[in-house]
């Protein structure tokens, strides 16, 4: 049998029938993934836009809400995710080189880091539950502007007092036109923080949902890698899994400053 070089690549076991050759398959799959990520950008983008609109509308409440979530945990998670992006990139690299053991190690590391992220997120969610910051009144004891959810620590999660404190702080810094809101006014403003927490849970929840899908993808890649399916000839699935993972990572890179950082240290105005 005289099979030419080109026909041997054409009969690569991973080549599906609708494509002419591996190059076309790889280009189409990669392009498809980018188009899919574009839809994801629109999906997250819509919610980011809504969040920013409310942030402008209810600025003091959103700043107070922002202050009540833990920068330390948020920063930890940022590092964890950045680390997982590194391990993922290494997994793709070792797939390109076709080193089976290394691919598996890097994939498992990525999955561990992803799980750590979700664990920290769960801890943060639990804190919010503890502080009565769950919006709506179906989970927990309902949103409480003055904190006081916890019997032992009634000051915990006191959004209204935080708003008053920021106003006082601003006055002390010389902003003469700032008025310290009365208790009634502060409580009303604090109720607006409920919308902040709605977005906090919706945005990070959607992100965490994507992380879970990512962990599923990584499991699938791990099985394929264990069977030694990836090598210099064929590593598209690993590459696309990597694209997805990095995308979810980048979403967090936007979420972290928007939810945790901006205006945190500015006074009320």
Hey, is 234 helix, strand or coil? strand
Q: Considering beta carbons, is residue 35 or 72 the nearer one to other proteins?
A: 35
Q: Considering beta carbons, is residue 38 or 79 the nearer one to other proteins?
A: 38
CA dist., res. 160 & res. 170, Å (int): 16
Minimum CB separation of residue 183 from other proteins in Å reads 18
Q: Considering beta carbons, is residue 88 or 181 the nearer one to other proteins?
A: 181
Q: Considering beta carbons, is residue 197 or 235 the nearer one to other proteins?
A: 197
Which residues are at the interface with other proteins (CB under 8 A)?
A: 16-20, 24, 27-28, 31-32, 35-36, 38-40, 42-47, 50, 53-54, 57-58, 135-139, 191-192, 194-195, 198-199, 202, 206
Minimum CB separation of residue 46 from other proteins in Å reads 4
Minimum CB separation of residue 90 from other proteins in Å reads 28
- In this structure, how many other beta carbons lie within 10 angstroms of the beta carbon of residue 37? 17
Burial 120-141 (b: 16+ CB within 10 A, else e): bbeebbebbeebbbbbeeeebe
Per the CB < 8 A criterion, the answer to whether 256 and 78 are in contact is: yes
CA dist., res. 97 & res. 231, Å (int): 6
Query: Considering only CA atoms, which of 173, 160, 178 is closest in space to residue 68?
Result: 160
Minimum CB separation of residue 18 from other proteins in Å reads 4
- How buried is residue 72: exposed, middle or buried, by Cβ count under 10 Å (0-12/13-18/19+)? exposed
Cβ neighbors of 130 (< 8 A, separation 6 or more) are 149, 150, 156, 157
Report the Cα–Cα distance between both ends of the chain, in Å, rounded.
82
**Chain CA centroid to CA 151, Å:** 32
Q: Considering beta carbons, is residue 81 or 195 the nearer one to other proteins?
A: 195
Minimum CB separation of residue 248 from other proteins in Å reads 15
Minimum CB separation of residue 150 from other proteins in Å reads 22
Q: Considering beta carbons, is residue 79 or 213 the nearer one to other proteins?
A: 213
């Amino acid at each position: 049998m005289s099979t030419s070089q080109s026909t041997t690549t054409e009969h690569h076991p991973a080549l599906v029938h609708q494509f002419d050759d591996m190059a076309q398959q790889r280009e189409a799959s990669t392009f498809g993934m980018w188009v899919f990520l574009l839809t994801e950008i629109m999906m997250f983008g819509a919610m980011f836009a809504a969040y920013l609109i409310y942030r402008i509308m209810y600025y003091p409440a959103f700043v107070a809400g922002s202050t009540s979530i833990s920068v330390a945990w948020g920063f930890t998670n940022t590092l964890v995710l950045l680390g997982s992006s590194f391990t993922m990139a290494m997994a793709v690299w070792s797939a390109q080189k076709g080193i089976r053991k290394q691919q598996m190690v890097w994939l498992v590391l990525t999955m561990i880091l992803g799980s750590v992220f979700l664990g920290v997120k769960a801890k943060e969610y639990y804190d919010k539950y503890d502080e009565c910051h769950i919006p709506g009144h179906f989970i927990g004891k309902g949103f409480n502007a003055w904190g006081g959810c916890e019997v032992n620590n009634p000051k915990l999660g006191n959004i209204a007092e935080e708003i008053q404190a920021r106003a006082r702080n601003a006055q002390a810094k010389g902003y003469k036109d700032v008025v310290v809101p009365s208790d009634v006014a502060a409580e009303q403003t604090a109720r607006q923080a409920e919308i902040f927490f709605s977005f906090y849970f919706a945005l990070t929840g959607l992100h965490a949902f994507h992380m879970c899908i990512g962990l599923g993808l990584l499991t699938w890649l791990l099985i394929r890698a264990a069977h030694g399916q990836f090598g210099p000839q064929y590593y598209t699935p690993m590459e696309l899994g990597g694209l997805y993972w990095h995308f979810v990572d980048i979403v967090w890179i936007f979420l972290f400053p928007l939810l945790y950082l901006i205006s945190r240290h500015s006074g009320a105005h």
